[in-house]
Amino acid sequence: MPSRLIINADDFGLTPGINRSIAELHKAGVLTSATLMATGPAFDDAVAISRRLPSLGIGCHVVLTDGIPASPPETIPSLVVPGGKSFRSSLLDFVRDLLRGRIREADIEREAEAQIAKLQQAGIAITHIDTHKHTHLFPAVTRPLLRVLERNNIAAIRNPFEPAFTQRLAHADLKRRLQIHLINRLRPAFERQPQLQQSRVVTTDGTLGVSATGNLNSSTLNEILKAMPETGIFELVCHPGYNDRDLDRVTTRLRSHREVEMQALLSAIPARLSQPNAPMLIHYGSLNVLADNDRFDLPLPRNVSS
């Protein structure tokens, strides 16, 4: 059985240009999934696009830092800046306070519930969740998210850890390799969560492209795809979009590179699919079929049309 690959774009709903890019890439057959930001400025536009593209898997991109909450700020005081209405803008500040016990799991749970509810109220059938800046690397975030998933019958979560084979690739410099090595020390705690061990919530064998964030060009993507094993289930995370005036109005470190990622997907994915032992492209909606039947019955066609 060939390997399976989910190609997921984060930041759906952040700008109309990102939304348009996701739609175009899905129609081109090189993107299978996207995770939607409940409080993104272009949320309504993203919802409209998702309705026109029913074969695009839609997850919830849970935001806990660098954004605004879906809950009333006073109900999640440990997540917002003191006296303010927004999350901490710095990921490092979030991690520091999380590790010091200053962020309550109950607040994370309440806010994740609110973001998921907003998507569901808009008619989105949520295939999975992931988190902005991969904050669910940490058990104190993973635990409340898994509780919310079970309550809402959402079957899958991103495995935020890169598999070992990607850490040996040339695109990751020494600093990034050391960072990934340290991050992966959290992986056993993620895998020990009872919902995952008992397949009440399912995930992949790992996420490709984390170490290539900001460097996912055609060469890097070809390198990753070439190294991908012939068996297993993986996600490729990407951040495509148009670098336009709307993007200038939001906080993001990925600007011009979003267009580079678009071109990389358009060139590298069709080339890989034309080769022997190509992975089958799916979205997260297929993973619960694997858990139930130990096989996939819902593959996404390689040439997707609207």
Structure confidence by residue, pLDDT tens digits, 104-117: 999 999 999 999 99
pTM for this prediction: 0.91
φ/ψ region of 129 (left if φ > 0, alpha if ψ in -120 to 50, else beta) reads beta
The answer to whether residue 22 scores a pLDDT higher than 70 is: yes
DSSP 8-state code for residue 87: B
Closest CA to 237 of 162, 142, 146: 162
* 203/193 Cα distance (integer angstroms): 12
pLDDT score, position 287? 84
* 153/149 Cα distance (integer angstroms): 6
pLDDT bin (cut points 50, 70, 90) of residue 302 is very low
pLDDT bin (cut points 50, 70, 90) of residue 304 is very low
* 249/258 Cα distance (integer angstroms): 15
Would you mind telling me the total number of residues written for the chain in this entry?
306
The answer to whether residue 280 scores a pLDDT higher than 90 is: yes
pLDDT bin (cut points 50, 70, 90) of residue 289 is low
To the nearest 10°, report the CA torsion of 167, 185, 108, 176.
-30
Q: Name the CATH topology of 4-293.
A: TIM Barrel (3.20.20)
* Phi, psi values for residue 234, rounded to 5°: -130, 160
Q: What is the mean pLDDT of the chain?
A: 90
In angstroms, how far is the first alpha carbon of the chain from the final one? 28
pLDDT score, position 193? 98
3-state secondary structure of 197: helix
Structure confidence by residue, pLDDT tens digits, 41-77: 999 999 999 999 999 999 999 999 999 999 999 999 9
The answer to whether residue 130 scores a pLDDT higher than 50 is: yes
The answer to whether residue 296 scores a pLDDT higher than 60 is: no
Closest CA to 47 of 112, 133, 111, 125: 125
pLDDT bin (cut points 50, 70, 90) of residue 303 is very low
Whether the Cβ atoms of residue 223 and residue 270 lie closer than 8 Å to each other: no
Least confident range from 42-46, 56-60, 160-164, 198-202: namely 160-164
* 106/245 Cα distance (integer angstroms): 37
* 59/130 Cα distance (integer angstroms): 7
Domain residue ranges in the chain = 4-293
pLDDT bin (cut points 50, 70, 90) of residue 172 is low
Mean pLDDT throughout 156-161? Answer: 97
Residue with tokens 């907003």: 118
Whether the Cβ atoms of residue 55 and residue 125 lie closer than 8 Å to each other: no
pLDDT higher for 174 or 132?
132
Residue with tokens 């996404």: 300
The answer to whether residue 297 scores a pLDDT higher than 50 is: no
Per-residue tokens: 306: 């609207």
Mark out the alpha helices in 124-255 (DSSP H runs). 139-151, 174-183, 187-191, 194-197, 218-227, 245-248
Whether the Cβ atoms of residue 57 and residue 122 lie closer than 8 Å to each other: no
The answer to whether residue 175 scores a pLDDT higher than 80 is: no
3-state secondary structure of 41: coil
Whether the Cβ atoms of residue 25 and residue 55 lie closer than 8 Å to each other: no
The answer to whether residue 157 scores a pLDDT higher than 70 is: yes
The answer to whether residue 17 scores a pLDDT higher than 80 is: yes
In the chain, what are the helix, strand and coil shares in percent, each to the nearest 5?
Answer: 45, 15, 40
* 25/17 Cα distance (integer angstroms): 12
